[in-house]
Amino acid sequence: MYKRALSGLLVINLIFLIGVLSLCRMEEICRKLQQTVSEVHMEESLLADKESIMMGIASRTSSGQRVVDCSELQRESKYQLEQADLEVLLRIVEAEAGCEDEDGKLLVANVILNRMNSEKFPDSITEIVFQRENGVSQFSPIADGSYYKVSVSEETVQAVGRALAGEDISRGALYFAARKYADSESMRWFDEKLTLLFRHGGHEFFSDKKALQ
């Protein structure tokens, strides 16, 4: 009688143990499944952002806010740019003025558009941005490669949109420099060969001396 009761108790304990192990196993499976689903969603999001970045536009800012579609920039625009030129403009403005306010970004876009309208510079945005003089790039983000790493923010899109719509606060500037980061030889050329128009944020804006005579 005692052995029978003991055997029954062992069976009950064994069933209970199997149930606990099964439950733990199911929880582990569920956790792994949830992790896998999360990783898939993350990979899809990263892939989407990577594809957008390759086009010069991040799908979201760091705050998670979606960026305006660049196709909106062509509406009511004074300048009708090729898609490639538009993407180059967005990217160089972000690279040069990512830490500036929206007007600072607008000014950089203005300078590039001023160059496009000047006989001294090439006729397209892409040619202007990638122009080299004596083997030296005109824009430091091209030289150091940061141009290729930026994600264009919504503020940059808005600033470029304002520039393309004809808003110009540059006073005709064809050059700009960040004295804080430029080498002394480069700034000596700016100071001796050009006329300082004004400063905004971390940039100084210049024109040719002939332009003011």
Q: State both tokens at 40.
A: 């898939």
From the centroid of its chain, how far is CA 173? Answer: 24
Please tell me the predicted confidence (pLDDT) of residue 195. 96
pLDDT at 46 over 60: no
**b/e map 139-171, b = 16+ CB within 10 Å:** bbbbeeebbeebbbbbbbbbbbbbbbeeebebe
DSSP string, 179-204: TTTS-HHHHHHHHHHEEEEEEETTEE
Q: Is the pTM of this model over 0.75?
A: no
- pLDDT band (50, 70, 90) for residue 99: very high
pLDDT in tens, 115-138: 999 999 999 999 999 999 888 889
CATH architecture of 70-170: Orthogonal Bundle (1.10)
Question: What pLDDT is stored for residue 9 in this prediction?
Answer: 53
| Cα distance between residue 170 and residue 197, in whole Å | 9
pLDDT of residue 48: 44
Query: Taking a C-beta distance cutoff of 8 angstroms, is the pair 98, 150 a contact?
Result: yes
What's the CA gap between 212 and 37, in Å, rounded?
A: 63
Q: What is the mean pLDDT of residues 188-200?
A: 95
* 106 φ/ψ sector (left φ>0, alpha ψ -120 to 50, else beta): alpha
How high is the pLDDT of residue 120?
93
CA 67 distance to own-chain centroid:
10
Q: How confident is the model at residue 71 (pLDDT cuts 50, 70, 90)?
A: low
Q: What would you measure as the largest C-alpha separation in the chain, in angstroms? A: 118
* Position 175, amino acid: Y
pLDDT at 1: 58
DSSP 97-116: HTTS-HHHHHHHHHHHHHHH
Element (H, E) at 137: strand 136-137
Please compute the mean of the pLDDT values over residues 158-181 and round it to a whole number: 95
Q: Residue 32's pLDDT band (boundaries 50, 70, 90)?
A: very low
In this prediction, residues 7-26 reach a mean pLDDT of 52
d(CA 159, CA 170): 13
Place 184 in a pLDDT band, splitting at 50, 70 and 90.
confident
Q: Which two tokens stand for residue 205?
A: 């804006």
Mean pLDDT along residues 21-30: 49
